[in-house]
Structure 1
């Protein structure tokens, strides 16, 4: 079947919730949970080191809708809606002549159902502000453009993929019959899986799926950081079962595009808002600087991305909005703080790579006010001890808290912050973090250095006149924080 294709490519974003990068086979998970994602990553473009700019639902979503940091939009924590006049991907694609649609979890409004003025410019709407509160595994309630509730049949991720397929089918034919040209469409499909079901603190997989994976492989951090707070041993079967079913739905969506002769002219991006550390780093599932919280899967296929490309440099999901606009031939607005990854595909080792930052910048809220940079090898994290993590989006004073050598400690089990042996690299990373905070529009803070008591005493013995003001002492043998 041949169709009169749109002059510009269609664009679909598939967005999961709380999915770790190492839940995918291409990242070494041995349980064959994600054959569809792995195939897209291998034949399309795999962003091998993808990170969220904020490991909290709403801030991460504000960033991926706007291409701007959470403190720039003001959405630095949950419960803050996108401000009026804040332009989103839907606004930019809509202005370029695209039909725009949103399906699933939004989490950027104040009310349920989401009023039209808080839908980020999306014209077709079938969503819920906080989908985990309006639905459960086999009862998916969303709201249409009129604000009326709609119950979608089937397991929840299946129901949302079915709705996405219906949107594609409705926009596949050109207006006015075969003589017309298909209007390009942009669709954002936002799933809740593999997020936990809040009110019962469980990961409800489809019937029969949890049993397949319970008691099987665990990532090293989840296997090592044991204790009463670690829920991975109890929840990993359901979590993996959810991911497997999401991958099957993703495959059905690609098959539907193929059957409608749209696959070759549709850019499809798959990623997540943040990861999940199963209460091993604090008292809940994210809101920490660790890769379990911030590292996510990301792969793209379609025009500009097919051919087996791979990007090994750290990339933020804040870079996805300008990338999609760039790939679709839509101008990238100067207000976006992310940048298109297309030059990295064109020149993986050329001038584009030289101009690309070596680190991603992460903001943390709600658990604490924190800032981090993550390079290919290093993780450097500071916290604001005097700030209120709910009321303060930023602070004037931070203290070094964590430093990890990811080349030797990829699952961040040994915190090097405050060790004299790593003072030089910590100082270098500290300056880089300050620079990234300024580039993001934050006011320049003070970052106090960290030193162990024993090492501070040794420094004073070696040089009684050494200047130690601004150095924060900690207990010798400082371990990864769990608070």
Structure 2
């Protein structure tokens, strides 16, 4: 099936008020006149297209990489809202996903490192939309159930109670990187029966499953998550794997400036990473075309995002789990009702803000327990943009126990220097990394311990403490850096 977008639909530019006026209780199936055609009073459908380990600067619309081939994602940005300064609040797969779906910090979700299960008591995006009449559907990688078989966990099938409120279509592997390879593998359906694929690229296989769902008659407004593994590395190969023959087209492509000065795996792995990005973009284009053909596009909010970035072992001994932009900056593009009209929004936002944004856009109440802020006010309200806090809390686990404050101008990171990574938080941290985002956006000069920056470090330290207590953590001791690294 061709993956090229066939033509473009001209979208009206609507205000938030106009979008809100279109939000009303879901209609019955009797009101539908086409398999997928929305009636006059339906809530918007929501698709979250989640690409794992996708760097923000590999989106062509972000203008930082001349070798990236992302025409379909760029077209999405040209139609909708590009939140160009988005960060993850936990730069590793499972904790980041827990933040996305609960709008709580990873230390509150039960998933503060990989392999843990999501706290079943928490309201999620799926539970709240389902209560409002949505079907809740998921395809691909989950990573929010226990993974240790010795204590009842698995990288494959996921128990119903561990699905975070996704109670309808379910075609998932808990950790798909452990149950598949790029051209073969298995996911499991709602009844935990296997769905195998072979001789088809994994991205295309999961897109096939999404097409199968979208071509069906929808009795309700739907939430659909399409969760791809690529461009994440294939774990047992220790590298990303592009579709056959594609990586060779990207030999000698652009090397991001934060990588080129540092040793790592990028010299060998960037061509495959570029090839995976191309495959993801083609999949996005295919899904968008299906929405057009099924008359769903006008009433579907489409979100393109990632859980974290990739630094190719330049900052620690793996691919993420650091406070650097290459780990924490992610793409976030939203198109559809309430988000139409090309706009780049530069305010600093977090993954924690996505779920409340989508509930507000759907006219569904946001739980009081959620910690994120809706981004809808940034779309059309200049005053809201002026008053936006522009700071995000980053929690780091596994590589170290660390915390960071990210503002538009600064990254201030503290770490537990004892090396203990067995606890979700520490009572005492030391200043560890400090970057000036204005003068050093590629984070090559660590300012921690520089006396001329002491006053700014003290200011950021107090801000970080306030964010930590707001996230439910005890206020820690933070020891100033004494030596310039």
1:277 aligned to 2:277? no
Measure how far apart 1:354 and its partner are. 4.3
- State the SS of the aligned residue for 2:187: strand
Match of 1:399 among 402, 413, 430: 430
Match of 1:164 among 199, 207, 210: 210
- State the SS of the aligned residue for 1:97: coil
1:7 aligned to 2:39? no
Contact 1:378/1:403 (8 A) holds in 2: yes
- State the SS of the aligned residue for 2:181: coil
**Using a 3 Å threshold, how does the CA distance of structure 1 residues 329 and 152 change in structure 2: closer, same or farther?**
farther
Match of 1:53 among 89, 102, 105: 89
Match of 2:402 among 364, 367, 370: 370
Measure how far apart 1:84 and its partner are. 2.2
How far apart, CA to CA, are the structure 2 residues paired with 1:393 and 1:168? 40
- Cross-structure match for 1:113: 157
Contact 1:16/1:271 (8 A) holds in 2: yes
- Cross-structure match for 2:171: 126
1:261 aligned to 2:292? no
How far apart, CA to CA, are the structure 1 residues paired with 2:172 and 2:231? 17
- Cross-structure match for 2:358: 324
Measure how far apart 1:309 and its partner are. 2.2
Measure how far apart 1:387 and its partner are. 5.7
Contact 2:38/2:296 (8 A) holds in 1: no
TM-score normalized with structure 1 length: 0.89
How far apart, CA to CA, are the structure 1 residues paired with 2:401 and 2:176? 26
Question: Number of residue pairs matched?
Answer: 439
Q: Which runs of 5+ in 2 are unaligned?
A: 1-32, 147-153
Measure how far apart 1:33 and its partner are. 1.7
How far apart, CA to CA, are the structure 2 residues paired with 1:331 and 1:149? 36
- Cross-structure match for 2:182: 137
- State the SS of the aligned residue for 1:157: helix
Superposed CA deviations along residues 145-171 of structure 1, whole A, max 9, x for unmatched, are: 111110135211111111112112224
- Cross-structure match for 2:4: none
4+ long deviations beyond 3 Å = none
- State the SS of the aligned residue for 1:193: strand
Match of 1:359 among 388, 391, 402: 391
Contact 1:397/1:447 (8 A) holds in 2: yes
- State the SS of the aligned residue for 1:362: strand
- Cross-structure match for 1:462: none
- Cross-structure match for 2:418: 386
Alignment of 1:231-270 (within 5 A): 231-270=265-304
Measure how far apart 1:79 and its partner are. 1.3
Measure how far apart 1:74 and its partner are. 2.1
Match of 1:196 among 233, 255, 263: 233
- State the SS of the aligned residue for 1:300: strand
- Cross-structure match for 1:178: none
Contact 1:311/1:345 (8 A) holds in 2: yes
Find the structure with the greater CA-based Rg. 1
Q: Name the stretch that deviates more: 27-36 or 64-73.
A: 27-36
- Cross-structure match for 1:31: 67
Contact 2:68/2:274 (8 A) holds in 1: no
Superposed CA deviations along residues 88-107 of structure 1, whole A, max 9, x for unmatched, are: 11111110000110100001
- State the SS of the aligned residue for 2:379: helix
1:155 aligned to 2:201? yes
Q: Which runs of 5+ in 1 are unaligned?
A: 175-182, 452-473, 479-483
Measure how far apart 1:265 and its partner are. 0.3
1:95 aligned to 2:131? yes
Measure how far apart 1:34 and its partner are. 1.1
Measure how far apart 1:428 and its partner are. 1.0
How far apart, CA to CA, are the structure 2 residues paired with 1:127 and 1:171? 21
Match of 1:425 among 437, 440, 456: 456
Measure how far apart 1:424 and its partner are. 1.3
How far apart, CA to CA, are the structure 1 residues paired with 2:454 and 2:121? 44
Measure how far apart 1:406 and its partner are. 1.0
1:221 aligned to 2:258? yes
Match of 1:212 among 249, 255, 258: 249
Contact 1:215/1:233 (8 A) holds in 2: no
Superposed CA deviations along residues 442-480 of structure 1, whole A, max 9, x for unmatched, are: 1101111113xxxxxxxxxxxxxxxxxxxxxx3x5x1xx
